[in-house]
A and B are shown apart, each in its own frame.
Chain A
Amino acid sequence: MKTIIQNAVDSAGRLGASYADIRIIDSQKQDIMLRNGQISAMDIADNIGFGVRVIVNGAWGFASSAKVEKEEIERVTALAVEVAKASSLLKKDDVKLAPEPVYQDIWVSPYTIDPFKVSISEKLDLLAAIDAELRSKPEIAVSVASMSFVKRHQWMATSEGSLIEQTFMRSGAGFSATAVKDGDVQKRSFPSSFGGQYMSAGYELILGLRLLDAAPQIRDEAIALLSADVCPSGQKDLILDSSQMALQIHESVGHPTELDRVLGMEANFACTSFATTEKYHNFTYGSPIVNLYCDNTLAGGLATIGYDDDAVRSQRWPIVKEGQFVGYQFNRELAHILNADRSVGANRAQGWSHIPIVRNCNLSLMPGDATFEDLIASVDDGIYMAANRSWSIDQKRLNFQFSCEIAWEIKGGKLTRMLKKPNYQGMTPDFWRSCDRIANADHWTLWGVPNCGKGQPMQGAEMSHGSSPALFRSITVGVGN
């Protein structure tokens, strides 16, 4: 493999590339889903291919193919050079890559139990037991239980001399119960919505989630929501559970601080950002207790990797410190915009067939000093919302409206009645500035996000966000209810 990838970057150099890299990725995937007792997904996939990225005449070119053969690599490398020459017909400035040491390294993500060595039947037995528990009451119209595993083996070589081999293992599982009655559809999920929990880990994650133990409560909550009151409308104090906080962090801090968006490179699709460069080190993003850090070295994170797809070693750095905006997520190409010495290592591609772009990293809210009970006790009239149901945010990442699966009213410092159709709306900086208390590290959870879409062609990416539950004062809730 080393010879193959070295030949590609050498070939690109002969064709006029001032920089070249090649990534060959061999991946295995296993997605298993049981829906109402029947298998609705059984995707066992293996996939291999390569992508060649070059700079010619100061402009990028990229080409990819599934045929990892010497002649095909030469053809695709030449195509990438041709594409780059076309790019150079309309360029503003030459691409400048921030310096980075040359690495020759092997990196493997830690795990205990290889999920691909656990039998399909064992996995199906667990999913079937969950399904039976969920559908043991007739109000449940749809039960879904699923597991998902990915093993990715990547070789990367750059014309600068880096030669990096990395192996990444990801596991995930969860379930949901949907209760239907008279046109009312209520859903509860565990441990989080949209497939559950995902981490860089092996099958030990699945065993630790104790999915079957949680099934009766989740089922009963879905049924109870059918007769619950609708979340009232108005300005109220709001406590979000840690999984909804992960969504809040992702949409209103993660994406706005991707520097390519800020610079207009996503303007036609995923759009831009309010967090423009004149605000860098000069903007109050949140209240003084808000501290948000990116960390692609974090154990269990879905963006945790030895090196990004720019061959930059993974790092930890602040985005918001004591409420102040102090950091962006960026790559080698954009580092010079901030006069940064090097990239933070945020350049990742979906796989071998996509060009790397700036992606959300493992971005987390640091824990506070309160217990969860302290948060509840400090609210006289408010709502506690849990588990994301849908999300929408404007093209500069300012005006957002998020809804959750379930909520409880808080009156006089106590949790009271269950509420359905909870949602809240806000403006990003105002919302984070209203953050009044954050629960402590005992309540902090790192949540995997396996479904982040960005770019044209659309690329999926995975990352994690950690948070404890947090309290926000005077938020608009129950919009449209």
Chain B
Amino acid sequence: MDRSQAEAIVQKTLALSTAAETEVILSHGEENLTRFSNNAISQNVARNTDSLTIKVHLGKKVGRTTTDRFDDESLRGALQNACNVAEQQTENPELLPLLGQSDFPLVDYFNQETAAYSPQKRALTIKSIVDIAKQEKAELAGIFSTGSEAVALGNSAGLFAYYRSTTATLSATAEIAGQSGWADDNSRDVTKIDAERVVATALEKASLAQNPEPIDPGDYCVVLEPAAVSDFLMFMVWEGFGGLNFNEGRSFMTGKLGEKILGDNVTIIDDAFSASNPGLPFDFEGVPRQKITLIENGIARAAVHDRYTALKAGVASTGHSLPQPNSAGPLALNVSIEPGQSSLQEMISSTEKGLLVTHFHYTNVLDPVTLTLTGMTRDGTFLIENGKVTRPVRNLRFTDNIVEAFNHVEAISRDRKTVEAFFEGSFVAPAMKLSKFHFSSVSEF
């Protein structure tokens, strides 16, 4: 859906509205995903979805409805529903008026070849990497997806903002004799996906993971690859960096702005305009996204805010609102850890005894304020001895306080990777070496 198509639907909806204030959020998605397992394509889909969310303000009352039908009659019905909902509510004295137009930086993350990439091309790429896996007597499973999304935001105060992007992801798990290795690659441009590197890395991990031995749980020095680090970033975003949790005393940053809470080599920023993990240039209130330094050399600098949490905190919105109203509060969606001076190999070489972790599985929160998490290693966990990766070990469960663990960061890699966390979101993460990290138990494989 291009800008003119999106604007036509948004403006038609606004023109049909009789409410004092009306806001429209239009989203369109095309997701084409080929799934493979056991060296064959197992699922293959082409999804096409639309959604139009209408919000009306009647005085200090708000109503919201969503529809995927864009004919005049359906839009009139949806607008009427929104008004009916608003009328049944009590007034919200804190309801903020809709914003007018702002200057948003022009961004273009849309790649035509990616948007139009055919299922045949995806299948042939998968076939090529499966052929490589078969030579190694491996079973390959994964996805190759290509797609596009468009988001338009408009309101009766004169705001219109539009964004579109494409995305391509290749993710592969190789299994050899019951042990697995994993790798992925993603880009806005499908032609930049390095399929051979993905399969080679996954195969190498699976090959090195053969015959893992159990080790005792306890405290270890760990070298975390970027995908492992991204899980920690995901929970920092959900539990710590948002203005709502921050205001309500439920964040590890609450009351600590200006204080050193992480290691002095840790700097974390949110930047929707970064080349490696760009995103929407505006938020869902129509505020331009700002680059925010969340942690600077270990010192808590700022949370991200929407207009409501900003008002409560006595600061300005940073442009991180989700569609209003919502229960999550503002979120940092383009987070990265600043690079260090090391490399993965240097981290391994400098480790007398430790563990190398490829990534984690099913990480979850035990305590949101201390950011105590638990999760399992997966797809390649290795013992490091005297500067060398010596042997694979059985997967371990970690249970540790991440704020504390990030006070023991010995090294951060120069190279970083844009990685998708297990549940949701993508982050720019380096490899990191932590001198102390606690594993509470070991699994059977």
Assess whether B249 is in contact with A49, with CB atoms less than 8 Å apart. no
Closest 7 CB pairs of A and B: A86-B119, A45-B66, A267-B141, A40-B327, A399-B443, A120-B88, A121-B88
- A sample of 4 more A-B contacts (CB under 8 A), given A62-B43, A264-B38, A353-B49, is A42-B325, A46-B69, A47-B68, A399-B444
Verify if A1 is at the interface (C-beta below 8 Å from B): no
Q: Which of A43, A64, A423, A425 contacts B46 (CB 8 A)?
A: A64
Please tell me if the beta carbons of A66 and B68 are within 8 angstroms of each other in the complex.
yes
Cβ-defined contact, B366 with A480, below 8 A: yes
**Among A41, A86, A480, contact of B44 (Cβ-Cβ < 8 Å):** A86
Given A63-B45, A84-B44, A44–B81 Cβ distance below 8 Å? yes
User: Which chain B positions have C-beta within 8 A of A423?
Assistant: 366
Q: Mark A26-49, 1 if CB is under 8 A from B, else 0.
A: 000000010100111111111111
Nearest CB of chain A from residue B352's CB, rounded to whole Å: 26
Q: Is A112 an interface residue (CB 8 A)?
A: no
Contact A41 B36 (CB under 8 A): no
15 contacts between A and B (CB under 8 A): A44-B64, A45-B65, A46-B69, A49-B49, A86-B34, A86-B118, A87-B41, A87-B44, A89-B120, A121-B88, A184-B369, A390-B364, A393-B362, A425-B440, A425-B441
User: With a CB–CB cut-off of 8 A, which chain A residues contact B123?
Assistant: 86-87, 89-90
- B201 in the interface (beta carbon within 8 A): no
Within A460-481, which residues are at the interface with B (CB < 8 Å)?
Answer: 476, 479-480
Cα–Cα, bound, A45→B51 (Å): 10
Q: How far is B443's CA from A411's CA once the two chains are assembled, in angstroms? A: 31
The proximity string for A residues 417-429 relative to B, scoring 1 for CB distances below 8 Å and 0 otherwise, is 0000101010100
Pick the most buried of B44, B48, B62, B64: most chain A CB atoms within 10 A of its CB: B44
Residue of A nearest to B128 (CB): A90
Interfacial residues, chain B to chain A (CB-CB below 8 A): 31, 33-51, 62-69, 78, 81-82, 84-85, 88-90, 92, 94, 118-120, 122-124, 126-127, 130, 139, 141-143, 145, 171-173, 175, 180, 182, 248-250, 254, 325-327, 361-370, 372, 374-376, 378-379, 395, 397, 399-400, 423, 438, 440-445
Cβ contact of B122, chosen from A35, A62, A86, A180, cutoff 8 A: A86
B40 touches A90 (CB 8 A): yes
Within 213-263 of A, Cβ neighbours of B (below 8 Å) are at 263
Q: Least Cβ distance of A46 to chain B in Å? A: 5
Given A392-B374, A425-B440, A119 contacting B88 (CB threshold 8 A) = yes
A98 within 8 A of B: no
Q: How far is the CA of A184 from the CA of B372 in the complex (A)?
A: 12
| Shortest CB distance B268–A (Å) | 21
Q: How far is the CB of B232 from chain A (nearest CB, A)?
A: 14
Contact of A39 among B68, B89, B366, B368 (CB under 8 A): B89
In the complex, the answer to whether B44 meets A61 with C-beta atoms within 8 Å is: yes
With a 10 A CB-CB cut-off, give which of B145, B374, B423 has the most chain A CB atoms: B374
